[in-house]
């Protein structure tokens, strides 16, 4: 597959030209932040470097769906939605920290560790990655395993942490990627 075939590939979800343009803009912005120079020749070098880097690395950032009929760009999400998701996740981190703090500081420690299982199926492989990392980032929960068929095994330290896995974060990840998903709780193991 040649470089120009990637632009015309109909199995890529979204517009490859939009992906390349956004990736070039981010790379140039990062270059500008690091260089701090605004002389014309250096700006031209920065733009050329960003364009070439985006062009060379774009095929490496395409992930196939489970059935390999579609390809998803790793950074193929709306930046505004990403910002909203970031602030929502930060609020979830605060709530989880308070829950763990309450459970461990009381005279009678209220931890109740267990493994929570749920199925989260979606076509976009980035949805599973973002969900697993978001769960692990949240205090009181650690993603232990994600199977190929979308079964998540999550260690929850408290009752509040286990209750937090009831579908809210899964819904937000689906919203972030504008991706339909299938969610089902499978139970708990103590």
Question: Which pLDDT value is given to residue 110?
Answer: 87
The alpha-helical segments, DSSP class H, found in the chain are: 3-8, 16-35, 40-57, 79-105, 125-137, 159-163, 168-176
Mean pLDDT of 23-43: 94
How does residue 107 score in pLDDT terms, banded at 50, 70 and 90? confident
- pLDDT at 111 exceeding the cut of 60: yes
**What pTM was estimated for this model as a whole?**
0.86
CA 7 to chain centre: 24
Mean pLDDT of 8-22: 89
CATH of domain 79-189: 3.30.70
The answer to whether 40 touches 70, Cβ cutoff 8 Å, is no
How does residue 176 score in pLDDT terms, banded at 50, 70 and 90? very high
Question: Which pLDDT value is given to residue 6?
Answer: 75
State the Cα–Cα distance between residues 85 and 126, nearest whole angstrom: 15
User: b/e for 74-91, b at 16 or more Cβ within 10 A?
Assistant: eebbeeeeeeebeebbee
- The tens digit of pLDDT for each residue in 89-105 reads 999 999 999 999 999 89
Question: Which pLDDT value is given to residue 190?
Answer: 79
The answer to whether 136 touches 143, Cβ cutoff 8 Å, is yes
- pLDDT at 1 exceeding the cut of 60: no
Boundaries of every domain in the chain? 3-73, 79-189
How does residue 32 score in pLDDT terms, banded at 50, 70 and 90? very high
- The tens digit of pLDDT for each residue in 120-130 reads 999 999 999 99
* pLDDT above 90 as % of the chain: 81
State the Cα–Cα distance between residues 171 and 15, nearest whole angstrom: 24
- pLDDT at 152 exceeding the cut of 90: yes
């Amino acid at each position: 597959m040649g470089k120009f075939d990637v632009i015309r590939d109909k199995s890529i979800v979204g517009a490859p030209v939009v992906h390349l343009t956004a990736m070039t803009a981010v790379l140039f912005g990062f270059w500008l932040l690091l260089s701090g120079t605004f002389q014309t020749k250096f700006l031209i070098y920065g733009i050329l470097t960003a364009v070439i880097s985006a062009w060379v690395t774009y095929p490496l950032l395409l992930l196939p769906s489970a059935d390999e009929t579609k390809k998803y760009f790793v950074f193929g999400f709306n930046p505004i939605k990403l910002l909203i998701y970031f602030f929502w996740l930060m609020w979830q981190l605060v709530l989880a920290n308070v829950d763990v703090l309450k459970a461990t500081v009381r005279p009678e420690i209220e931890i109740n560790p267990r493994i929570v299982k749920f199925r989260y199926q979606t076509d976009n492989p980035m949805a599973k990655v973002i969900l697993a990392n978001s769960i692990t980032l949240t205090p009181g929960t650690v993603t232990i395993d994600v199977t190929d068929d979308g079964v998540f095994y999550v260690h929850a330290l408290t009752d509040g942490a286990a209750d937090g896995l009831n579908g809210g974060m899964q819904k937000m990840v689906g919203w972030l990627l504008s991706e339909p998903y299938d969610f089902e709780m499978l139970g708990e193991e103590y």
